[in-house]
């Protein structure tokens, strides 16, 4: 399998903080971004000189801590689940990143986006059924030629599977709708990449 071949050659994460956060996520089934996905984001950040990031969906803080440890960036991250919010808070404090990662405890659909700043990158990684709403709501908060990356567009390949279970079928239909929506946004240059769990990269045309 080409993926396994490349996985063998590519370097694995060695930062003990990130290794231990990932193993925690695996143990407690927290759906954090995979290594290929976060590497892609970190390289986009470096290539584009991204300084400010808005993340929708913090979970335990894995992706925000990873971006902060690998880049000179400031991140605002939104989480609606109190348990997750508190675990992320501990992880962020343990790594002395509280001055660079600002947490918002709220539903991202309830946050008043006009109280937020502008961001070079918006990373959408929350409830998969709501991605269109997040995209439309937060695109105003992009800086000139800013970038929106959305995660899990293949949803563990389920988007291309035959599904019977009703709720899952509806969820997958919504992801399919997002995928068709995101490539049609005329004010963005978008491509959905078959990497990580399926990720779209949308660059704002200004």
Determine the interface stretch with Mg ion among 72-80, 87-95, 119-127, 160-168 (rule: CB under 5 A).
119-127
Choose the contact partner of 78 out of Mg ion, ligand SAH, none; CB within 5 to 8 A by kind: ligand SAH
Least distance in Å: CB of 202 to ligand SAH?
Answer: 17
**Other CB atoms closer than 10 Å to residue 119's CB: what's the count?**
24
Binding site for ligand SAH (CB under 6 A): 31-33, 57, 59, 62-63, 78-81, 84, 107-109, 125-127, 130
Choose the contact partner of 152 out of Mg ion, ligand SAH, none; CB within 5 to 8 A by kind: Mg ion
Choose the contact partner of 190 out of ligand SAH, Mg ion, none; CB within 5 to 8 A by kind: none
Q: How far apart are CA 94 and CA 12, in angstroms?
A: 23
Least distance in Å: CB of 206 to ligand SAH?
Answer: 27
Task: Check binding of 125 to Mg ion (CB under 5 A).
Answer: yes
Vertex 14: Cα angle to 10 and 19 (nearest 5): 110
Instruction: Please give the DSSP secondary-structure letter assigned to residue 11.
Output: P
Helix, strand, coil percent content, the chain, rounded in steps of 5: 45, 20, 35
Token representation of residue 94? 């343990």
Beta strand 142-150 with 199-204 is antiparallel
- With CB atoms as reference, the residue minimizing the distance to ligand SAH is 57
**Interface with Mg ion (CB under 5 A):** 33, 125, 151-152
């Amino acid at each position: 399998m080409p993926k396994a071949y490349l996985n063998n050659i590519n370097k694995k994460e060695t930062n003990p903080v990130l290794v231990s956060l990932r193993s925690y996520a695996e143990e407690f089934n927290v759906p954090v971004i995979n290594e290929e996905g976060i590497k892609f984001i970190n390289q986009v950040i470096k290539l584009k000189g991204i300084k400010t990031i808005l993340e929708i969906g913090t979970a335990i803080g894995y992706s925000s801590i990873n971006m902060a440890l690998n880049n000179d960036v400031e991140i605002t991250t939104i989480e609606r689940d109190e348990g997750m919010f508190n675990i992320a808070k501990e992880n962020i404090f343990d790594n002395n990143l509280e001055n660079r990662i600002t947490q918002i405890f709220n539903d991202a659909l309830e946050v008043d986006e006009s109280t937020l700043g502008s961001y070079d990158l918006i990373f959408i990684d929350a409830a998969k059924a709501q991605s269109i709403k997040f995209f439309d709501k937060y695109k105003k908060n992009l800086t000139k030629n800013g970038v929106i990356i959305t995660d899990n567009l293949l949803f563990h390949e389920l988007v291309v599977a035959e599904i019977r279970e009703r709720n899952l079928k509806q969820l997958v239909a919504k992801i399919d709708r997002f995928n068709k929506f995101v490539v049609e946004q005329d004010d963005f240059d978008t491509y959905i990449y078959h990497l990580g769990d399926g990720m779209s990269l949308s660059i704002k045309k200004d």
